[in-house]
Structure 1
Amino acid sequence: MALPTPLYTTDYGVAYVGDSLELLDRLESDSIDLVITSPPFALQRKKTYGNVEQEDYVNWLFEFCKKVYRVLKSTGSFVLDLGGAYQSKRPVRSLYNYRILIKLCDELEFRLAEEFFWFNPAKLPSPIEWVNKRKIRAKDSVNTVWWLSKTDNPKANVSNVLVPYSDRMKKLQAEPQKYYKPKERPSGHDIGKNFATDNGGAIPSNLLEIPNTESNSSYIQLCKSISIPPHPARFPQKLPMFFIKFLTEPGDKVLDIFAGSNTTGFVAEQLQRNWIAFEKDLTYLASSSFRFLDKSQNPKDTLTLYEQLLYQHDSIYLTTSKQLALKL
């Protein structure tokens, strides 16, 4: 069964409204290079974006992951961002994000290629009861990000995500004899004279420090211009950018099954990767189109686009020149 008419398209991507459980069945097997997503978290308090109760969460998410496994290429990757949570009315952490990992590896034969941790230094102290009021816990500011694959050797190139060298390393490279003498370390590692070679950057760690402080993007500004609320649980562009650069090449296909405000699609477009976005909330996906427009867009035109996306019957094409080109 073919996919339905997309809500909108761009040069590299297509955005569909619908339940991912149904839409995933319409994709070919072994057709996707990277699935990267941040599903609604298993929180105790209901959120406007529709999170699932903790006791049901693992089985609920597992149904999506079974279908992700089918559509993923043997060289592909599945990157799953999951926030932590506390048990109801207790200062005790939930293990749901670890249980889903174990279930995926034990029952679907996913491999854990590597675990990553997204540290958001801008995150507000929470939960209020244990951190702010009773002051018996530190604030929760780290998400677990599982990098999963169908085989032991998924496509990956860490050279694409090198980070700047530290000041100390720059000094070492400039004058290696002054700061460094090759020798075996107490750990047993034999670090030779090539240690000071400039390789264009340092290998990143699996701790990704990325503040989630989007405030001046075209998406936020255009939402404000027509008085509609932005998606309440956006993740920062640098998070999908890291994994798309790391795990894919230009022309590869990237899928987000809980697209929300479609940060993944926007980043994939910038990096010339083909992308697919699935999101069941029409209003969220309609406003996600603003990511592909200039923030100086006339509010009247922005509102026209938004209303057309809400009530249309044909797909709207957004040009990469950030000027509206409507196919109605």
Structure 2
Amino acid sequence: MTNLFYETSLGKYYLDRAEDFINSEEGAKFHGRVQLLITSPPFPLNKKKKYGNLKGEEYRAWFSNLSEAFSKLLTDDGSIVIEMGNSWEAERPVYSTLHLESLLGFLKNQKANLNLCQEFICYNPSRLPSPAQWVTVNRFRTIDSYTHVWWMSKSDTPKADNSKVLRPYSASMKRLLKKQKYNSGKRPSEHDIGETSFLKDNGGSIMPNVLEIEQIDETRERRVPGNIFSISNTNSSDFFLKACRERGITPHPARMPLELVQFFVEFLTDKGDLVFDPFAGSNTTGFIAEKLERNWVATEVMKDYGEQSMVRFEDPNLDTTLSKK
């Protein structure tokens, strides 16, 4: 039976398997209402983790079948955003293709009717050397420091507005806008740049599809959207991590970065829309949704993670009320 663990001013956190919740009487209330489903599912790892993960064909079948359930939740112009890391063959220094095969199975599930809108790369230079055996012991692989982020939808034109996630103009672009002059004409790439193509001030430049969790090059100005948190995943000032340390809580080991979630919530939803995370863990998604005045629903199978996720809503910068059931 679906168990409502706690709720806040805008959201609900359930202790349940994602598939069971979606197919339950309670989950049916949200069918066709979710504007954004964003999550980081258990990766197909070779070493069993506390938060649970399957392997091989079992993982591929499980993940592929999720798309039908997830699709039921979406509005007609809703989006699914899934973060997936790379996986390695057991005891071998070679990539597994399982995560890619699983993604294709998810996307090609005809009962889900999904399109791949775009791929993003989430780069985090602070990730620990992994896999350690091949990086720090044998030293014949480099650090695996990024994850794939896949944006999918049922529609060719899901709700999206990149003007809400503009990054500041570069210094050279600011000079160009001030001078109102640049070299127009054909480029070696065969692009023909018009005389006024770059003279309009749009308030910032469009984000690329590589998201920096920390600055790649510290010698240049960091250009992330002004409304996106500038908090790295290892930042000691993060309220949740600080509170966990003080209380002796071991945080969920595979938390989605705050900036990653916020970017897509800003990009793909409006205030009042519904956001859902089926593998919520410490509930980064619910926290961001609450902060940005979106409604949210989250599911998680492990009560320990549900308990620690409540810490997020004690953040003094968050105006909300939490009620445990």
TM-score (norm 1): 0.86
Which stretch of structure 1 is more off in the superposition, 17-26 or 128-137?
128-137
Alignment of 1:1-328 (within 5 A): 4=2, 6-25=4-23, 26-28=27-29, 29-108=31-110, 109-177=113-181, 180-192=182-194, 193-211=196-214, 212-294=233-315, 321=319
Question: Alpha-carbon deviations, 1:73-105, whole Å to 9, x = none?
Answer: 120000010010111122211112221222123
Which stretch of structure 1 is more off in the superposition, 211-220 or 18-27?
211-220
- The 8 Å contact of residues 64 and 107 in structure 2, kept in 1 or not, is answered as no
- The 8 Å contact of residues 217 and 295 in structure 1, kept in 2 or not, is answered as no
Task: State the distance in 2 between where 1:107 and 1:63 align.
Answer: 7
Tell me the secondary structure at the aligned position of residue 205 of structure 1: coil
Shift of residue 225, structure 1, vs aligned partner:
2.7
Tell me the secondary structure at the aligned position of residue 105 of structure 2: helix
Tell me the secondary structure at the aligned position of residue 116 of structure 1: strand
Shift of residue 284, structure 1, vs aligned partner:
0.6
Cα distance change, pair 223–65 in 1 and its aligned pair in 2 (3 A): same
Shift of residue 241, structure 1, vs aligned partner:
0.5
Task: State the distance in 2 between where 1:85 and 1:34 align.
Answer: 26
Partner of 2:230: none
Shift of residue 45, structure 1, vs aligned partner:
1.2
1:94 maps to amino acid: S
Tell me the secondary structure at the aligned position of residue 78 of structure 1: strand
Task: State the distance in 1 between where 2:107 and 2:253 align.
Answer: 31
Partner of 2:228: none
Q: How many residues of Structure 1 are paired with residues of Structure 2 in the alignment?
A: 300
Tell me the secondary structure at the aligned position of residue 128 of structure 2: coil
Shift of residue 295, structure 1, vs aligned partner:
6.6
Shift of residue 226, structure 1, vs aligned partner:
2.4
TM-score (norm 2): 0.86
- The 8 Å contact of residues 68 and 109 in structure 2, kept in 1 or not, is answered as no
Question: Alpha-carbon deviations, 1:206-225, whole Å to 9, x = none?
Answer: 11111422433222222223
Question: Alpha-carbon deviations, 1:208-258, whole Å to 9, x = none?
Answer: 111422433222222223222111111211001011111111111000000
Q: Following superposition, which runs of at least 4 residues in structure 1 exceed 4 angstroms of deviation?
A: 324-328
2:99 maps to amino acid: N
Unaligned runs of 5+ in 2: 215-232
Shift of residue 63, structure 1, vs aligned partner:
2.8
CA RMSD of aligned residues (A): 2.0
2:239 maps to amino acid: S
